[in-house]
Amino acid sequence: MSESRNRAGVRLGIIGLGRGFMLTLPSLLAHPDITLFAACSSRSDARKRFEDDFGGIAYADYDAMLGNADVDAVYVATPHELHMEHTVAALEAGKCVLLEKPMAISLAQATVIVDASKTYGKTVIVGPSHSFDPAVGEALQLIKTGDFGKVKIVQSAYHTNFMYRPRRPEELDTKRGGGVIFSQGAHQFDIARMLAGGVGTSLVGQAGVWDASRHSETAYTGLIHFAGGAVANLTYSGNDFYDSDIELGSVSELGFPKNIDPGASRRMLSRLAGNDEANLKKIRSYQGLEVFRQSRAQTKNAEQNEHFGVWRVSLERADLMVFHDRIEVYHENGKYIHSVEGPAGATRRTVCDALVAAVNKDRTPLQIAEWAIGTLECCEAMIASSTDQQPVPLTLQTPVDGHPNLRF
């Protein structure tokens, strides 16, 4: 068994062959220590193609897949509202889990996951998430040097078309984990916590449904106060007006060259009728490797790192501007550029590395369930604060080891 694992690396079982899996697939394929070993999908065509493409075993029933002792780890990439059920089942079966963000759609569910992770002694990594993006990790390393003093203000304002991409109904229903807070706040709050030291003390903000036809929150703005003195100032808009990616040389969130076209997604949706939106979403799921490769043919694999917009970190003795490919450092002696290496075809390499290391018990990343519940707490706090404009105390927060704000 041990020998077998060494040969195959981490034998991954995937629950859910949808959009999340599609986005991570290139990095999984490129990783030398990960094998696409098994998958579970309710779509028979997806199962057939998974077996043909990867020689893996495809299941209609996730319990059957989890019963396969050769599966070393499970990637839960199902709709948000199913995360708890699938993650707990995988933990019970003794598997490490890579769990798509948001980890769950409520703190109650997230608590069950955290408890199950402890009970069964298996790590849950919540990702892929943009907190795994290389530039974010390197910004944290710069911060940890302590050369620039404590972090005081972390700023992010990311404007996208998020709410006007083709959506399934649950993606437009906040109670089911839809809207920008659960889907995108899960990235933004995660990164903010990493850079600001991790331990939020309160969140105050305002989210809103600006377009009733999209049902769920389309934008929010808010502050998170942190132990150690930092404040994160965060804005997200998924309204398809201004597009922040222009600030990153028109490189998309996924690392692809991009044609900036404000309102284009709104215009496309407005031309659709009836069930077309759900069908459009469906073809963004896994349709087989050939279809995948054709769809990517126009742009090739991502040549740039993924990102979540520009991050501005103001410390006592420097401002850092964090882009996908560089960190600009502004300080008393001028400006210098800290370059960030490109993805070499695997934009999600860091989270895949983290998964392999966790399975091999080499190291555990920051973004495990015990950490991620603090990020989900921020999502719920943003919703709660929006009702009465009052700060919501945060109590489920964990620190970033070695962060200068937490050295006393």
Q: Which residues bind a copy of itself (CB under 8 A)?
A: 149, 152-153, 155, 157, 159, 201-202, 204-206, 208, 210-211, 219, 221-223, 225, 229, 231, 233, 235, 237, 239-243, 261-263, 266-267, 312, 314, 316, 318-319, 321, 328, 330-335, 389-391
Please return the burial class of 288, using the count of CB atoms within 10 Å of its CB with bins 0-12, 13-18 and 19+: middle
- CA 134 → CA 24, 131, 306, 318, 375, distances in Å? 15, 8, 8, 20, 19
Residue at 92: amino acid letter: E
Residue 10 makes CB contacts below 8 A (sequence gap 6+) with 33, 34, 35, 72, 73, 355, 356, 359, 360
Shortest distance, position 141 Cβ to a copy of itself, whole Å: 19
Shortest distance, position 140 Cβ to a copy of itself, whole Å: 19
Shortest distance, position 392 Cβ to a copy of itself, whole Å: 12
Residue 362 makes CB contacts below 8 A (sequence gap 6+) with 356
The tokens for 312 are: 């501005």
CA distance 157 to 25: 28
Q: Helix, strand, coil: what percent of the chain each, to 5?
A: 40, 20, 35
Shortest distance, position 307 Cβ to a copy of itself, whole Å: 18
Q: Kindly tell me which of 173 and 247 has the beta carbon lying closer to a copy of itself.
A: 247
Q: Kindly tell me which of 138 and 243 has the beta carbon lying closer to a copy of itself.
A: 243
Q: Kindly tell me which of 153 and 289 has the beta carbon lying closer to a copy of itself.
A: 153
Q: Kindly tell me which of 120 and 330 has the beta carbon lying closer to a copy of itself.
A: 330
Shortest distance, position 233 Cβ to a copy of itself, whole Å: 5
- Looking at 231-317, which runs of residues are DSSP E strands? 231-237, 311-315
Shortest distance, position 49 Cβ to a copy of itself, whole Å: 37
Q: Kindly tell me which of 78 and 244 has the beta carbon lying closer to a copy of itself.
A: 244
Q: Kindly tell me which of 34 and 321 has the beta carbon lying closer to a copy of itself.
A: 321
The tokens for 349 are: 């390499």
